Amino acid sequence: MDNAAYIVFTPSGRRGRFDIGTPVLECARRLGVDLDSVCGGRGLCGRCQVLVGEGEFAKHGISSSAQCLGQITEAEKKYADWKGLKPGRRLSCNARLLQDVVIDVPPESQVHRQIVRKRAEARNIEIEPVIKSYYVEVEKPDIHHPSGDFQRLEQALKREWDVELHDTDLYVLRTMQDALREGDWKVTAAVRHSLGRYDEIIGLWSGVITQLYGLAIDVGTTTVSCQLVDLTSGEVLSVAGAMNPQIRFGEDLMSRVSYVMTQPESVAEMTNALRDCLNGLIVETSIEAGIDKKYIVEVVLVGNPIMHHLTLGLNPSELGVAPFALVTNAAVKVYAEDDLGLDICLGSRAYFLPCIAGHVGADAAAVVLSESPHLSQEITLVVDVGTNAELILGNRERLLAASSPTGPAFEGAEISSGQRAAPGAIERLRINPDTLEPTYKVIGCDLWSDENDFDEAIASTGVTGICGSGIIEVIGEMYLAGILSAKGVIDGGLAEHCARIKADGSTFSYLIRGGEPEIKIIQSDVRAIQLAKGALYAGARLLMDRLGIDKVDRVSLAGAFGSHIDPKYAMLLGMIPDCPIDKVSAAGNAAGTGARIALLNKKSRTEIETLVKQIEKVETAVEPAFQQHFIKSIAIPHESDAFPNLSRIVKLPKKESTQIIKESGGLSRRQQRKLKQAEIQS
Amino acid sequence: MDNAAYIVFTPSGRRGRFDIGTPVLECARRLGVDLDSVCGGRGLCGRCQVLVGEGEFAKHGISSSAQCLGQITEAEKKYADWKGLKPGRRLSCNARLLQDVVIDVPPESQVHRQIVRKRAEARNIEIEPVIKSYYVEVEKPDIHHPSGDFQRLEQALKREWDVELHDTDLYVLRTMQDALREGDWKVTAAVRHSLGRYDEIIGLWSGVITQLYGLAIDVGTTTVSCQLVDLTSGEVLSVAGAMNPQIRFGEDLMSRVSYVMTQPESVAEMTNALRDCLNGLIVETSIEAGIDKKYIVEVVLVGNPIMHHLTLGLNPSELGVAPFALVTNAAVKVYAEDDLGLDICLGSRAYFLPCIAGHVGADAAAVVLSESPHLSQEITLVVDVGTNAELILGNRERLLAASSPTGPAFEGAEISSGQRAAPGAIERLRINPDTLEPTYKVIGCDLWSDENDFDEAIASTGVTGICGSGIIEVIGEMYLAGILSAKGVIDGGLAEHCARIKADGSTFSYLIRGGEPEIKIIQSDVRAIQLAKGALYAGARLLMDRLGIDKVDRVSLAGAFGSHIDPKYAMLLGMIPDCPIDKVSAAGNAAGTGARIALLNKKSRTEIETLVKQIEKVETAVEPAFQQHFIKSIAIPHESDAFPNLSRIVKLPKKESTQIIKESGGLSRRQQRKLKQAEIQS
């Protein structure tokens, strides 16, 4: 046996021959294996854990860790006592190459691991945050060779990690003396490696700090949500949400802008209110995750253009009137504490994703990052529905963006029985086409209304209204059941056969549930939904015209509303263009996911900054074609060339005769509807 | 005559041939002539003024501006009405080349002009500040091509000035909308061109803003002084000073450090007190100069290490004990408003010069910039006397720095009749060697005490004490008059002959002025000065040893004290090494001048940052040789090898016999002193 041995690392497959006794971490470094370390090989951080792999050498019976990598060292025992070490695991800085061996680097020991997302079409997130922590042992001051604390720290980072600092924030200087002396000159520095900028220390703590955290914050008009993310594993440790406190200045965006127009000094008030809210969420998520918020070192923010401005203390008045000029459409990079007042690690920065245009915000940019239409050949329509619907259409060759003025109907506002998505709100509904009887489910209860124990199950909340996704189903089912015409008129002729259809002035209503409150759909509710979905569809059509296409390959429904609606009803109502139903998917909180991607992967920031410049912005407000599409889109689509996939999902009642039909004088629901359609088409 | 003409610019001598009708500014640009412009040739800023020169073409009778450069334009008339235009001056952007001409670019139209300093040995200041203003006309927002206000501003700066911005501060974004709209999209941007960093906007105002300002601030232990400087002309527009409000936490540096050691939270208090003081000085200098402080765009700060720390909110405790570790010895670059709370242009930065070592501060670095020993072949000793004396020794090859613990005697403290330099303090004094009668001058009065009307002239202030520079003269004159021995003993034997010499316990005192307060020199005063000057000299000797030299070529006395003492007495007392007296000069407020250099010339910052790293730091506290030199330096130097130049400046009384000498028994003062010297030397 000579004085060297082979080592093979999996999963990378990198291999080499090194002197017997070489630390495994050193072998990995020299082979360029992706193996993490914060403490620089001192056996303190536990980030370089490896295990002896099941490779070809294992066949020869070589599998004992002690045999291949030497006896467990004191440092490893100490680490195992302190933090625990799984069976078979070794700290690669302490383990030494003694004979030919296969070493397995588990995912959590890799620096550039990937987060695999569940949805097949969603791209994985590669972890490469702007911040990395480095443990160093700094030289003590020497009266014979005077130098600043910072300069000796700088030298240690250069010597041990080859990190070249430029200068540093005053914050860090102010805490540096204590950190160095309390830690007996052994400290962990959080270094910010932003692209195209100098590296700089943004936080410094005594001892070994292996876990740093970041926040992905979505500032919505109504709610603000905050994810606390582990920057090493990429894991979301906790999530908290709160009402946007700016609501007291105006429920919706435009009323907040109007408020600012009359009282410009309210910008600071609104920004301060939001700051307090964000600090509350920071405390909440930190407590839930059991971490100290001083280790939160980076923040990513997303929001619509007006929330973007009001978060940053920029006056949003210009966004309320044409030409809807943003202060900036570049990403905004600020100090989390100084500029935004966030109470986290003092030197940390906040990154607000770029807005796409005056009506298409950083939230839409985040949705693009999450859904990545620019990486696909398929023409994808991404729809994020809120008070405005933000639309992205295109593929890797070309991407367009627009905003459609849907109004708040999809959020349950302007609907007589509408309400926010909250326990007690109807979220699912089916109408028996024969009896016109509804059955429904409410948020907070797993039972349908016709199941036993439903009344008991909902006793605490009651049934209080219909949320946005519920309304879509109600309208869709009313249409399928023949209660609604394609033009959206509630058929008063049914009133004599069904007690749920009642005259309501010159129009009619459909009663879903009696009692207090009475839950029903009135004619103006249908109109509000028609206008909203018409605007949404018209926006999509406008973008399709621009792109010169008639159909889309895929539709991604982003946001809370998009996640809760059944794609079938979205297409039935004609909210979205026709598309194979299995290609319509809910993207969940895509804006939040996009924020998390920007938090975890620094290259994604450059990617979205570049992309946002290339996206073609279409302003619906000044496009005559938008109005034309809108007028054509108000009716509920019926069998037409534009919706070849619709008939595959709309299952009309098979039974032609029911009690009610008989009573109505022989015409089936289907026949009645066909008649009405003929009427419209003429 | 063809369609082109020659143009020659003076003083650069650049020349070229251009088409008839070419604007003179354009000719200058194309020839690389140093000719300023803020408005980009729109006839608004008046910075590109030129006049027809007295060159060779003048000989041919071509001298009329209108003849050579076309008729005065409307824009020029408008500018002349608004701001005035000296006879013969033309705006080069409006003047056109019509025939061969010599154009004179006056200094104030040059970008890179020089400030010529009065002292022959002082280097000139080349004006090249980090901030430059640019007037641009920004495109209005267009709904069909949505873009942010900032992006259109960015494009205008690129298009009109070839300035490439990176990103910008949130401050600027917050004021951008108003500036752009109030100025009808015509704005002036202050762009910061720091070395090795991206260019960025730090201020934005509507209209044409041609004058921007900076502050050069010297944070002294006792007083804080602030110069308001025009960044274009380099002129100091106003100066203000105030007591350092930290005095209430401790009169001298060490008592402030002790205070912090017992109450660490007082760091913030002291920093806040100083901030308020600085804001007061900013208001004062702005009002005096008649400018708006929002146009102050850059700040440079200097101070000793403890003031450096307390200005920046850094805990100075470590500077109070060995090994005297600074937080940082690099220059500190911070936000003037966010980090230091200075109420000036919101995006402006503050630059604190680097400290050299724990006892040799940024003030000493500024003195180096001002006195520039590193640019000379002569070995220069720069002495900045305060509570500690900071010493710089060397030349372009090698530079050493140290601090000597002189104590506060030179500032008038620890001296029985000592006081700060203020009206009523004795600053000059002569003793008649025959009569031992003193004559003196006090601050605030031009008369000597033996002149007529002296008593009336000082009636308002009285004679209240002796200031630092006064004490040096008093001790020097007492020695020359034989009242003091070289060992520093007041000669009690004279008491019987002269009523001014009186017994004072076991020692004697010398009365300068009776009355209330009685002004005299007691034995312990002499000792205090001996200790102080001994420490100063020992420090200088230590550095000379290190450099391996016996004499210096030049001595520069910096600071208020250094400026007021007569070099003759400094050398007579042995404060400084022997040197030809004409090579000893007062450098005035060299720290303030150094701060101004760093403010006006960005390259000087790199220069001092590099230099500070190269300066060899000598810690007097741990050098055994310092103690040895100190003990040897306490006596007042008498004819010795170390002081060959001394005898040239010490003029002993020629008259051997006076009334007093006769009464003393035949020995002249001179003879008496010689006797005493023999005694010492033995």
Instruction: Output the average pLDDT for chain A.
Output: 89
Q: How far is CA B554 from CA A493, B121, B589, in A?
A: 112, 10, 18
pLDDT score for B2:
73
Say if B4-109 and B125-206 have the same CATH topology: yes
User: Is B148 close to A329, i.e. CB distance below 8 A?
Assistant: yes
Nearest to A173 among B142, B176, B327 (CB): B327
Which of A324, A327, A331 is facing B173, going by the closest CB pair?
Answer: A327
* CB burial readout A75-106, b (16+ within 10 A) else e: ebeebeeeeebeeebbbbbbbbbeebbbbbbe
Q: Cα–Cα distance between A681 and B562 in angstroms, integer?
A: 101
Query: How far is it, in rounded angstroms, from Cα B664 to Cα B435?
Result: 12
Confidence category of residue A197, pLDDT binned at 50, 70, 90: low
Plot region of B162 (φ>0 → left; ψ -120 to 50 → alpha; else → beta): left
pLDDT at A612 over 90: yes
Radius of gyration for the alpha carbons in chain A, expressed in angstroms and rounded: 30
- B530 has a pLDDT exceeding 60: yes
From the candidate CATH numbers 3.30.450.70, 3.40.109.10, 3.40.50.920, 3.30.420.480, the one assigned to the domain spanning B220-352 = 3.30.420.480
Q: Is the pLDDT of residue B673 over 60?
A: no
Q: How confident is the model at residue B105 (pLDDT cuts 50, 70, 90)?
A: very high
When pLDDT is averaged across residues A306-334 and rounded to a whole number, the result is 95
Which residue from B minimizes the CA distance to A355? B148
What is the tens place of the pLDDT at every residue in A56-96?
445 555 456 667 898 899 999 999 998 899 888 999 999 99
Look at B173 and A314 and tell me if their CB atoms are within 8 Å: yes
Do residue B339 and residue A170 have CB atoms under 8 angstroms apart?
A: yes
Tell me whether residues B323 and A147 touch, CB distance under 8 A.
Answer: no
Q: What is the mean pLDDT of residues A564-583?
A: 90
Nearest CA in chain A to B171: A339
* A205 Cβ contact partners less than 8 Å away, ≥ 6 residues apart: A179, A183, A187, A188, A294, A295
In angstroms, the separation between the Cα of residue A338 and the nearest Cα of chain B is 7
Which of B151, B174, B338 is opposite residue A338, by nearest beta carbon? B338
**Can you tell me whether residue B20 is helix, strand or coil?**
coil
Contacts of A151 in chain B (CB under 8 A): 328-330
The chain B residue lying nearest A315, using CA atoms, is B174
Residues in chain B with CB shorter than 8 Å from the CB of A321 are: none
Distance CA A111, CA B222 (A): 54
- Per-residue model confidence (pLDDT) at position B196: 61
* Closest C-alpha among A313, A335, A334, A316 to residue A325: A316
Residues of B whose CB is below 8 A from A323: 141-143, 146
The residue of chain A with its CA nearest to that of B315 is: A174
Residues of B in contact with A173 (CB under 8 A): 312, 314, 327-328, 332
Q: Check A173 against B328: CB less than 8 A apart.
A: yes
Residue of A139, A143, A260 to mutate, interface with B, max B Cβ within 10 Å: A143
Gap from A149 CA to chain B (nearest CA, Å): 5
> What are residue A125's DSSP bridge partners?
A115
What pLDDT sits at residue B88? 86
Contact A315 B177 (CB under 8 A): yes
CA distance B338 to B313: 12
Give B128 to chain A, closest Cα distance, Å.
23
- Which among A174, A257, A319, A613 is the top mutation candidate for probing chain B, defined by the most B β-carbons within 10 Å of its own β-carbon? A174
Q: Reply yes or no on domain A368-408+532-649 having CATH 3.30.930.10.
A: no
ipTM computed for the complex: 0.86
pLDDT digits (tens, 9 = 90+) for B383-441: 998 777 899 999 999 999 999 988 888 887 889 999 988 899 999 999 998 999 999 99
Q: Which residue has the tokens 């018409």?
A: A534
For A479, half-sphere exposure in the C-beta direction (CA atoms, 13 angstrom radius) is 25
HSE on the CB side for B320, CA within 13 Å? Answer: 17
- The stretch B8-37 carries a mean pLDDT of 93
> And the tokens for B102?
């010599």
Q: Is the distance from CB of A138 to CB of A185 less than 8 angstroms?
A: yes
Two tokens, residue B249: 């936490």
Q: Which residue of A has its CA nearest to B318?
A: A177
Q: Would you say residue A658 has pLDDT above 50?
A: no
Mutation site, A153, A155, A173, interface B, largest B CB count within 10 A: A173
Q: What is the pLDDT of residues A493-514, one digit of tens each?
A: 999 889 999 999 999 999 999 9
Is the model's pLDDT at A489 over the cut of 90? yes
The domains of chain A are located at 4-109, 125-206, 213-352, 368-408+532-649, 410-528+654-681
Q: Residue A30: pLDDT band by 50, 70, 90 thresholds?
A: very high
* Fold held by A213-352: Nucleotidyltransferase; domain 5 (3.30.420)
Please name which of A532, A506, A502, A416 lies closest in space to residue A464, comparing C-alpha atoms: A416
Of residues B150, B355, B621, nearest to A327 (C-beta): B150
Give bridge partners of residue B9 from the DSSP assignment. B103
Give B474-525 pLDDT, tens digit per residue.
999 999 999 999 899 999 999 988 999 999 999 999 999 998 899 999 999 9
- Both tokens of B484, joined, read 């003091």
Question: Inter-chain contact B329–A148, Cβ cutoff 8 Å?
Answer: yes
Q: What is the pLDDT of residue B654?
A: 38
Task: Name every chain B residue with its beta carbon within 8 A of the beta carbon of A334.
Answer: 170
Give me the pLDDT at residue B405, please: 86
- pLDDT at res. A657: 34
- Taking the C-alpha atoms of residue A352 and residue A605, their distance in angstroms, rounded to an integer, is 10
CA closest to B150 among chain A residues: A328
CB A373 within 8 A of CB A395: yes
Question: What is the average pLDDT score of chain B?
Answer: 89
Q: Quick one: average pLDDT of B13-40?
A: 93
pLDDT band of residue A166 (cuts 50, 70, 90) is confident
The pLDDT assigned to B252 comes to 83
Chain A positions touching B146 (Cβ under 8 A) are 323-326, 329, 357-358, 617, 619
Tell me whether residues B328 and A149 touch, CB distance under 8 A: yes
Q: Which of A156-170, A287-301, B306-320, B348-362 has the lowest mean pLDDT?
A: A156-170
**Residues of chain A contacting residue B323, judged by C-beta atoms under 8 Å apart:** 141-143, 146
Are B339 and A315 inside 8 Å of each other by CB?
Answer: no
Banded model confidence at residue B115, pLDDT cuts 50, 70, 90: confident
Position A117 pLDDT exceeds 70 = yes
Query: Which residues in B lie closer than 8 A to residue A331 (C-beta atoms)?
Result: 167
pLDDT number for residue A423:
92
Query: How distant, in Å, are the alpha carbons of B43, B46, B70, B160, B277 from that of B76?
Result: 7, 9, 12, 21, 44
Count of beta carbons in the 10 Å neighbourhood of residue A2: 7
Q: Kindly list the residues from chain B whose CB atom is less than 8 angstroms away from the CB atom of residue A150.
A: 327-330
Beta-carbon contacts below 8 Å between A and B: 141
Which residue of B lies nearest to A316 if distances are taken between CA atoms?
Answer: B177
Chain B residues with CB-CB distance to A320 below 8 A:
none
Percent of chain B with pLDDT over 90: 71
List of chain A residues whose C-beta atoms are within 8 Å of the C-beta of residue B330: 148, 150-151, 167
DSSP A583: G
For domain B125-206, give its CATH number from 3.40.50.970, 3.40.50.300, 2.60.120.260, 3.10.20.880: 3.10.20.880
Residue A619 has pLDDT above 60, yes or no: yes
Classify A426 as helix, strand or coil. Answer: strand
pLDDT tier at B187 (50, 70, 90 boundaries)? very high
Q: State residue A168's pLDDT score.
A: 80
Query: CATH topology for B4-109?
Result: Ubiquitin-like (UB roll) (3.10.20)
